[in-house]
Structure 1
Amino acid sequence: MSKNQILSVIAFISGFMIVGQGSVKAQSKEADLKNWPIGTSPKEIGIRIANRFIITPHTNFNKQGPPKVITYPETCTWYGALTFAKQSNNKELVRKLANRFEPLFGEEAKMIPIPDHVDYSVFGAVPLELYMQTKGKKYLDLGLSIADKQWGPPEGPRVKAESHGFYNQGYTWQTRLWIDDMFMITAVQAQAYRATGEVKYIDRAAKEMVFYLAKLQEPNGLFYHAPDVPFFWGRGDGWMAAGMAELLRSLPKSNPNYERIMKGYKDMMASLLKYQAPNGMWRQLIDDPEAWEETSSTAMFTFAMITGVKNSWLDKEVYGKAARKGWLALITYINENDEVREVCEGTNKKNDRQYYLDRKRNIGDLHGQAPLLWCATALLR
């Protein structure tokens, strides 16, 4: 090859590299998940919501008076505050969140939920996160006892006849085929895997997720609230979206269920794109244009999309735009007390469209505070 030919090849390669670099830099401002207007960044918003949680007493959602045990909305908010503290390198916030936990080893010990139901077992995600950040063995012991109980022999007053059948097939005896479960179950099992490195935990969660996908995901990628309730309820689908994202970010690609879960996740994300309102929000009933714009579902879907973009599972331009719009819309619902508005109250299921449209719109409900913290964390990862 002549000297001129060599120079031509070098020039071609250099030009290709410049174009390649340019294409990366050419990502539009509308899809940018790093640069934010003053007052809207994940660090600024996250610390406001986390500090609000610090001063919030134990909450008995949907009921008057103090709770008998820690409820799952509090668990999910606590977990979100801890992960935000880690990603923002806020040691003081970790200390405050650990101090909130300390009475549970003493005078508030009875408030630790008995892990005989998915809504109670998810609590294990909090001590496992505290262990990973503080290395306190008491947190690890508590968290693993809950994760192991979930796949142990059926036990407790909530056990139903079918529980033994699920257990004998390698699923948790807490299986009930509600879409909420796929955050509640996968969160604690994924956390146990992150804390120990033992693949049995993440394998359990992946097998369970595939079972739920096969039973519950509709052809359009979304999920009915229940097989007998053919409505795409926002927060219900949000639990699935967040659960898949949480699982996939730690699931080894070598896991035999990885591709199936990724397909379920991508199918759902593609469908959600079609139903995002022009202002960035999603609705109480996802596909119903007359339904009100709801914050907890919007935060969960936004979290799932941020996680997909950050991990290169999703197109950065397409889904980056959707995630940025979701975040910027969502934070306009935070009031002067750092409480999120327009949060659907905790709900049972009912085969009645009007039932969902008429659900109470809460302010400061931890169902809404929690996923906002997950979003802030994901944006900082």
Structure 2
Amino acid sequence: MYKKALFLLCLLPIQILVAQTGALKNFPDGSTPDEIGKRLASRFVKSKHLLHANKWIGYPETCSWNGALKFATITKDKRLTQMLKEKFEPLFTTDNRILPAMTHVDQNMFGSLPLEFYRITKEKRYKELGMPYADTQWEIPENATIKQKGWADKGYTWQTRLWIDDMYMITIVQTQAYKVTKDKKYLDRTAKEMVMYLDELQRPNGLFYHAPDVPYYWGRGNGWVAAGMAELLQCLPKKHKDRPRILQGFRTMMESLKRYRNPEGLWNQLIDQPDCWTETSGSAMFTFAFIKGVKNGWLDAKEYAPVARKAWIALVRYINDENDVKEVCIGTNKKNDKQYYYDRPRRTGDFHGQAPYLWCAAALLE
């Protein structure tokens, strides 16, 4: 009798967590992750390439492709997976000219996509295409600048630039390389990089400046940070030396974001400015991080699951009948000018917004 009672007592924390994370299930019709994921993934399959500088596939498209692929895998949608493979196939042959060059942090992250395909298909050619994007991020080129060499000498990627976007771009390709190879070096170096960025850019309120010389809390920039930390924490072993620092940074950020929500339950283009407009891409990235945090036990489910639920339902309202996400800030370089962020044009259907919606749908179904 005593052993049975002890066993039931041990189960109690698990039962409480399951009950609390119930807020991330049973969504109203029209806002279920199955419906939204299917709508946006199907939209992506039909979309044309959006080339960066008319040269190569840009990172927003890569992020959307990854999201659609993860959604297809989680839902075991073989037809969708096949269509995504067929969309990729020309990149091995006739369209290989639009593969990104391995010369910039935003371009190297493309490697995360073929590595995800490799994890699903086990076809060696995907791994052979993807791994150089991870490896060259730490292989300093002969024509590197003095500053780039300086970063490399300290054990960081030569592509370091201290923009908060990098905390996702670097992380996603390095963690994928780890998942494929199980080589701990990929985790160690991206964790080291993440800690440095945290120390340099996170402010006492938990949010991040766009860069050291741009003291504004830009929504999507902070979204890249939140998503990058979530992706890394899911890979880092519990005893990894850098995990406590990264987890602390993640929790501090999530606590702050909970306070800065607007009346919709979403976040503004400049997070701390109440008169700024609701921006969907950053909001979706924050929602993704909250979902991951709750489901992995990094965040208290009772406190944070309702935040994620309210945000997801609010985000769905920004999808139009063509399955395009509205109110997406266009691609944005750093600029030490507050009005610059207020005045950024807004787009509908931009991959910057489509991608994190797909991440959220997949995360809710995991």
TM band (smaller chain): over 0.9
Counterpart of 1:374 (choices 359, 363, 366) is 359
In 2, distance between residues paired with 1:18 and 1:187? 35
Q: Relative to structure 1, is the Cα distance of residues 20 and 183 closer, same or farther in structure 2, using a 3 angstrom cutoff? A: closer
Q: Which amino acid aligns with 1:253?
A: K
* Paired residues of 2:111 and 2:133 also in contact (CA < 8 A): yes
Count, aligned residues: 366
Partner of 1:44: 35
SS of match in other structure, 1:175: coil
Counterpart of 2:192 (choices 198, 207, 219) is 207
Q: Which amino acid aligns with 1:227?
A: P
* Paired residues of 1:154 and 1:164 also in contact (CA < 8 A): no
SS of match in other structure, 1:139: helix
- Is residue 348 from structure 1 mapped to residue 327 from structure 2 by the alignment? no
Compute the displacement of 1:192 (Å): 0.5
Q: Relative to structure 1, is the Cα distance of residues 356 and 133 closer, same or farther in structure 2, using a 3 angstrom cutoff? A: same
Counterpart of 1:263 (choices 241, 244, 248) is 248
Compute the displacement of 1:152 (Å): 1.1
Partner of 1:359: 344
* Paired residues of 2:162 and 2:212 also in contact (CA < 8 A): no
Counterpart of 2:148 (choices 133, 149, 163) is 163
Q: TM-score, normalised by structure 1?
A: 0.91
Q: Which amino acid aligns with 2:317?
A: T
- Is residue 240 from structure 1 mapped to residue 225 from structure 2 by the alignment? yes
- Is residue 117 from structure 1 mapped to residue 116 from structure 2 by the alignment? no
SS of match in other structure, 1:287: coil
Partner of 1:321: 306
1:1-381 equivalences in 2 (<5 Å): 23-24=16-17, 27=20, 32-60=23-51, 67-155=54-142, 159-381=144-366
Compute the displacement of 1:87 (Å): 1.0
Q: Relative to structure 1, is the Cα distance of residues 143 and 273 closer, same or farther in structure 2, using a 3 angstrom cutoff? A: same
In 2, distance between residues paired with 1:56 and 1:71? 14
In 2, distance between residues paired with 1:112 and 1:353? 35
* Paired residues of 1:144 and 1:192 also in contact (CA < 8 A): yes
Q: Is the radius of gyration larger for structure 1 or structure 2?
A: 1
* Paired residues of 1:154 and 1:167 also in contact (CA < 8 A): no
Q: TM-score, normalised by structure 2?
A: 0.95
Q: Which amino acid aligns with 1:238?
A: G
Gaps of 5+ in 1: 1-6
Indicate the RMSD between aligned Cα atoms, in angstroms.
2.0
In 2, distance between residues paired with 1:78 and 1:297? 18
Compute the displacement of 1:56 (Å): 0.7
In 1, distance between residues paired with 2:72 and 2:14? 33
In 1, distance between residues paired with 2:179 and 2:352? 24
Deviates more, 1:11-20 or 1:50-59: 11-20
* Paired residues of 1:154 and 1:163 also in contact (CA < 8 A): no
- Runs of 4 or more above 6 Å deviation: 17-22
Compute the displacement of 1:332 (Å): 0.6
Compute the displacement of 1:369 (Å): 0.3
Q: Relative to structure 1, is the Cα distance of residues 197 and 12 closer, same or farther in structure 2, using a 3 angstrom cutoff? A: closer
Compute the displacement of 1:357 (Å): 1.1
In 1, distance between residues paired with 2:12 and 2:158? 54
In 2, distance between residues paired with 1:114 and 1:22? 49
* Paired residues of 1:113 and 1:120 also in contact (CA < 8 A): yes
Q: Relative to structure 1, is the Cα distance of residues 258 and 21 closer, same or farther in structure 2, using a 3 angstrom cutoff? A: closer
Q: Which amino acid aligns with 1:121?
A: N
SS of match in other structure, 1:286: coil
SS of match in other structure, 2:235: coil
Partner of 1:3: none
Q: Relative to structure 1, is the Cα distance of residues 155 and 39 closer, same or farther in structure 2, using a 3 angstrom cutoff? A: farther
In 1, distance between residues paired with 2:94 and 2:140? 30
